[in-house]
Structure 1
Amino acid sequence: MEAITAGERETTYGFLAALLLKPPTDSFVAMIKDGSILPVAADSPSYSEFAEFVKDAGKMTDLKEELEAEHTALFVLPSGVLPHEAAYLDREKRLGGRITVSVRQFYERAGMETSEACIEVPDHLGLELEFMGFLCRLEKKFREKQDRSSLLKCIEFQKAFLDEHLLKWAHQCCEKVIEKSAYGFYKAIAHFTKEFIKDEEKYVRELYIKSCKEGEGICEPVA
């Protein structure tokens, strides 16, 4: 059951990461237009926002172009939300500084491979969500192999990355997206992301405590 949950969490993280890193692909736009994107947010309080946008999107002939333009305005241009952890937590808002290096080190220790272009900006919200999805995929694999030691380490990584990174700034970033969004789509995505990460905080904490008990107290903080 928990292996299935890890797979579902990986899917959600991947869904959100893909939409934050790049404009919607043709397949995503098709899912918006035919409403098949809605089940992804079925249990989210932001479902009504998704549904409202999907209803209006069916009438838009230039939907892909509009979403591409808004993605650029929100996540690429300097006047947008600056979706990088350093922009929120570094006093001088330095990309590539101490905070960026700390995020990159998490990726390296966990063994996540990223492209050269991505590793230059590892603290992008989309990449941090992608990393959590990667950890969920590892969790699923370790559960299926019944590799208790690796599983516990993986869960430790999830908790540490949430505590040390995502939970410290993702909420603020999502609030800025909500504030600056011209269309309902990215506003709904931001609400969904914010709610999902909040749920993850509770879920991963409980998962960590349970795993520590099952591991007979062998938990140690992730360095």
Structure 2
Amino acid sequence: MNREETISHQEMADLARLRSQTYGFLGSLYIQRPDPAFVGRLTDGAMISLLNSMTCGEASGEIASGLELVKRYLTRIREMPAQEIETELAVERTRLLRGIKPGYGPPPAYESVYAGSDEQPLMQTSVAVARAYAEAGVGLPEEVRDQPDFIGFELDFLRHLTDKEARAWACGDRGEAFKLLEKERAFLDEHAAGWIPRFCDLMFQDAKLDFYRGVARLTKAFVTDEVRRLVDLQNWARAARAA
């Protein structure tokens, strides 16, 4: 392997690793219920440090807007009791993600709902998502009583794929890395990118807390950027194959 290939593989590994960390971070904000540990991360400065590291300290557009909203919320809660923070986040999370009743928040955050409707979810969509997980050798833990097409699980699946991609690049396995890029693109095109931005628009409109308004902006912007990014990466991969 020559020096140019080594540098290229390392750069691709670093990019895939950063993308994986971002998917994992965003997914965790939807999956994890606000608890003392979650609140602790918000109030000890770790959240801001993580956000800044994911954007290398530079951001624009909806990413910048989302970061500013989250930071504004973190500034507001600095002197609040932890229990109050936990309660207000838990109430807001349930209202925004679970579709408790019409008019109380957006339709619940499941792809099957946005492929169909709140009254008639398109359940074959949920089956297709579960099949994609199984084909990649992953699935929901047995103790999880939820549908596989929940927004947090789809983001976490993309974390899994991009993490595997990073490992493939790091090992110099270009063929495996190319296959994983194809799987990422397919899952975004067939599933995540088709509904998550639309849900995030509704979540942003309905959210009362700047924290979740910011999370909605960040999620939409990142998923939308990923679609464009993967087109570029696959074009690069095709050129690399032909070289």
Residue identity matched to 1:22: Q
Shift of 1:75: 1.7
Residue 127 of structure 2 corresponds to residue 101 of structure 1: yes
Residue identity matched to 1:190: A
Distance 1:92 1:119, change over 3 A: same
**Percent identity over paired residues:** 27
1:1-223 superposed matches below 5 A: 1-42=11-52, 43=59, 44-45=63-64, 46-61=66-81, 62-79=84-101, 80-81=105-106, 82-90=108-116, 94-95=120-121, 97-116=123-142, 118=144, 121-216=147-242
**Cα distance in 2 for residues equivalent to 1:130 and 1:118:** 14
Distance 1:146 1:68, change over 3 A: same
Larger Rg: 2
Shift of 1:109: 1.3
Report the number of matched residues.
217
Q: Point out where structure 2 has 5 or more consecutive residues left out of the alignment.
A: 1-10, 53-58
CA RMSD of aligned residues (A): 2.0
Q: Point out where structure 1 has 5 or more consecutive residues left out of the alignment.
A: 218-223
Residue identity matched to 1:49: L
8 Å CA contact 1:24–1:67 kept in 2: the answer is yes
Residue identity matched to 2:189: D
* TM-score normalised per structure 2: 0.82
Query: Alignment partner of 2:242: what SS?
Result: coil
8 Å CA contact 1:32–1:54 kept in 2: the answer is yes
Residue identity matched to 1:38: I
Shift of 1:94: 4.3
* TM-score normalised per structure 1: 0.89
